[in-house]
Amino acid sequence: MAEKMEDKFRLEEAFDQIELLLERLQDRDVSLEESFALYEQGMKLLKKCSENIDHVEKQMLQIDEEGHTHEFS
C-alpha cells in the first residue's frame, strides 16, 4: 500500500499543501501546539519533496549526438 501512495505523490500538490500550511501558520489565532503540528507537517512534506527531486535527478539521462545515454551531471 505504501508503494501506491508513493506513486500518487505529486510535487505540485505538495507545494500547494505547504503554501496552505504557511498561510495557516500566519494566522494569529493558531495556538502554539497547532503551530508545532503545522510546522512538523510542513517539514515532512518538504523532506518528501526533496527525496522525490533527488530520485528524479538520479534517473535523468543525457543523450549524446550518437544516441548513447549518460548520467546527467
Look up the domain containing 61 and give its range.
2-71
- The answer, as to whether pTM is greater than 0.75, is no
Task: Say which residue, 58 or 15, is predicted with more confidence.
Answer: 15
Count of domains forming the chain: 1
User: Each residue of 25-59: pLDDT tens digit?
Assistant: 999 999 999 999 999 999 999 999 999 988 877 77
> Over pLDDT 70: what percentage of the chain?
79
Q: What is the DSSP string of 3-71?
A: HHHHHH--HHHHHHHHHHHHHHHT-TT--HHHHHHHHHHHHHHHHHHHHHHHHHHHH-EEE-TTS-EEE
